[in-house]
Amino acid sequence: MGGKKFELPTKTEYVCQAGVWSALGGPDAAERDRFYKYANWLYQAGVFLSRTFGGWLRLSRRQLWLLPAAQGAFLVLFAAAGASAAAWAGLAPRLLPFPLLLVPAFAVGLLGGLGYVSTFSLLAESVPFAPLRQVSLAAVSVADSAGIALADAVSVAVQGCLYRAAGIPGAAFKCGWI
Amino acid sequence: MALSSWRRRRRTPPLPPATSSSSSPRGAAPPAPTSAATSPSPSPSSTPSTPSSTPPRNVLAFWLLGLANNSPYTIALAAANELAAGAVGSIFFTAVFPALLLKLTTPFWFPRVHVNARAAAAALMALTAFPLLAAATKGIKEGGGEGSRGGGGGGAAAASATSSRSVLASIALLSFQGGLGEASALAAAGSYPHPRVVLGAWSSGTGAAGPVGFSFLMLFHVFAKLSLRATMLLALFWPALWLVAHFVILRPPPPRGPDSEEEAAAAAAAAEGEGAVLGAGGGAIELSPLSASSRPLSAAAASASAAAKKEALDPEEATGLLTPRAAEAGEDDEERGEARAKKGEQGAAAAAAAAAAPALPSSSSVLPSPSSSSASPLWAATSLPKGFLATSAHVASLWPFAVPLFLVYFAGEGGQENRPLSPFFSSPPPSERKKERKKERKKEKTQLFFGWKKI
């Protein structure tokens, strides 16, 4: 299974299936795929809803910080669910059935979209001088791209470790030195 | 929901969420401007009199811009995952980093390039990238398909290598397009009188881009069974839509000067009164969260124009807030030399404090600032920073907005763009898979028959 540095093993059915959510859903690959699809759809729905209506919440600058804090908590929750599923193979799904995890997946989408719209709205209302406002809005959009890059890197790393813990083959990152 | 308790008490939400029940984005976007008359952040002088509420066509335009900006990226990424199955990592890098790099440069050239030029450039990138992607599709299909499957001789492998290189090139182009389009549209939104309304429309459009892009591929590639190549050519619809939204639907913002004339006068009076109260230390960038964030935009804009009337402020002095070096960097700028000479060189910090004070007429009155350093942040300046260092300092001063946004994605599986489509499209559609399986079985049978393959 040689190939380029970033090549996935060819047997993985889904190519870009990185992320914590791809490790959730159960021991069966088909179940995991199903969970991944539903979670991502709900995530999308959450992003759309909060990007559409989140501007009306008018968060303050201090409240903006609550969003990444909540996201961090959710990441821990998902990682714990994945890891515990590996630890108690049969038991965990009964303790925390995976469909229940779709609710926080939706919430993660809501928070992400809310972060986007409220950051830019608040910024636009904070910078009084119009030309400077334009520059600032464009400049802060760097954080959007950089955040996505970071999230992708984090999710690949976490996925690798969860896959390793659960004994699932096919992660891009092996969570180890091998 | 707990979020509802986050509502800021000081402001009334422009639109009660009850009316937001219609989930159709097109239906949802237009109602916003009707409430826009009340939305211009209420000023302490309470003059929400600006008759120019955001016209619905501008809201629609920004919604379409958001949709048309992010859809190409979504579609192309899904297609790329189908095409260059082996190169997920490089696709990820080419999808993210061009946009990131481009956005990093925007503060330095956006003020000098007209928004129309930026919009046209973004559209041009997408208009180039999709044909390129379509061409690459052909190359890959001819090259024995999915190099990961291992077949194919040297020539075929070379063909698929070049086409996967052009897949990467088109992904990079679309990443540039997405980054440029986003930065440009956000900047444009900042020039409209009620940025929250147009920004809401924009972000709603970008939020819709994921599902819409997915539906686009579903509709044409899966249900209508069009080839990936044809689908990529059809995706030229999105840059076309972007151009229409920007050049046909969107109306330029009203000129900034006259619409807030009275407010400017009022704010000027306020500034006169409070101009004497100068902030003490110039070192702190950070303001107490209440002051600047809750400061109403209209008053702020008014004070800005008032300050502009009063023979404006030096950018150098404003940047003096952050680093003396930044102030020095701006000093080679000759235009404003006189004004600075008039005021005299009294040290960057003091000058910055003096300069910043009239820019914040309301902040000192609205709240008794808890800390002694009531200096305004760099982004409250009333002039554009000049020079590399000053601009960088301004960008750095935006961290209270940038860092939460940077961190907010990190449980969310990456951005909304690149995840959800991939599981559906990375594997060939079921019909093709069946065909392939049939082909393989046939091959195996013939191999068995001729005794090529031993079991």
Q: Domains (ranges, CATH) in chain B?
A: 54-144+157-252 (1.20.1250), 259-397 (no CATH)
Taking residue A26's Cβ as centre, other Cβ atoms within 10 Å add up to 16
* pLDDT for A88: 61
Query: Among all residues of chain B, which has the CA nearest to that of A20?
Result: B413
C-alpha A163: how far from chain center: 16
For chain B, say whether A141 makes contact (Cβ under 8 Å): yes
- Lookup: tokens for A78: 């998902």
Q: Where are the alpha helices (DSSP H) in chain A?
A: 29-53, 61-64, 66-87, 92-95, 102-126, 130-166
Rounded-to-integer distance, Cα B377 and Cα B353, Å: 10
pLDDT tens-digit series, residues A115-170: 999 999 999 999 999 999 999 999 999 999 898 888 777 777 777 787 777 777 76
Average pLDDT, integer, range B343-351 = 41
Query: What is the least distance, in Å, from the CA of A165 to any CA of chain B?
Result: 19
Average pLDDT, integer, range B2-20 = 39
Average pLDDT, integer, range B29-58 = 49
Query: What is the least distance, in Å, from the CA of B380 to any CA of chain A?
Result: 5
A150/B420 Cβ within 8 A: no
* pLDDT for B362: 40
Chain A residues 39-58 with a CB less than 8 Å from chain B: 40-41, 43-45, 47-58
B179/A20 Cβ within 8 A: no
pTM across the whole model = 0.67
* pLDDT for B140: 62
Query: What is the least distance, in Å, from the CA of B343 to any CA of chain A?
Result: 22
Rounded-to-integer distance, Cα B112 and Cα B255, Å: 18
For chain A, say whether B126 makes contact (Cβ under 8 Å): no
Least confident of A16-30, B89-103, B331-345, B424-438: B331-345
Rounded-to-integer distance, Cα B22 and Cα B29, Å: 10
Residue B227: C-alpha distances to residues A77, B73, B127, B147, B434 (Å): 41, 18, 19, 18, 16
Range of B96-105, B153-162, B314-323, B352-361 with top mean pLDDT: B96-105
Count of CB contacts below 8 A, A vs B? 373
pLDDT: is B231 or B89 the higher one? Answer: B231
Contact (CB, 8 A) for B307 and B269: no
Mean pLDDT, chain B, integer: 65
For chain A, say whether B85 makes contact (Cβ under 8 Å): yes
pLDDT: is B175 or B267 the higher one? Answer: B175
B401/A119 Cβ within 8 A: yes
Least confident of A75-79, B65-69, B107-111, B321-325: B321-325
B interface mutation test: which of A16, A102, A150 has the most B CBs within 10 A? A16
B interface mutation test: which of A75, A102, A117, A144 has the most B CBs within 10 A? A144
Give B138: exposed, middle or buried? Use CB within 10 Å, 0-12, 13-18, 19+: middle
> Does pLDDT of B166 surpass 60?
yes
- Lookup: tokens for A81: 């669910």
- Lookup: tokens for A82: 């994945």
> Does pLDDT of B173 surpass 60?
yes
For chain A, say whether B147 makes contact (Cβ under 8 Å): no
> Within 13 Å, how many C-alpha atoms sit on residue B411's CB side?
29
Give B379: exposed, middle or buried? Use CB within 10 Å, 0-12, 13-18, 19+: buried
**Which residue in B103, B196, B419 is closest to A124 by CB distance?**
B196
A19/B196 Cβ within 8 A: no
ipTM of the modeled complex: 0.86
- B-chain CB neighbours of A155 within 8 Å are 413-414
A144/B88 Cβ within 8 A: no
- Lookup: tokens for B204: 């709603």
* pLDDT for A36: 79
For chain B, say whether A146 makes contact (Cβ under 8 Å): yes
**Which residue in B11, B85, B86 is closest to A58 by CB distance?**
B11
A interface mutation test: which of B168, B409, B418 has the most A CBs within 10 A? B409
pLDDT: is A170 or A65 the higher one? Answer: A65
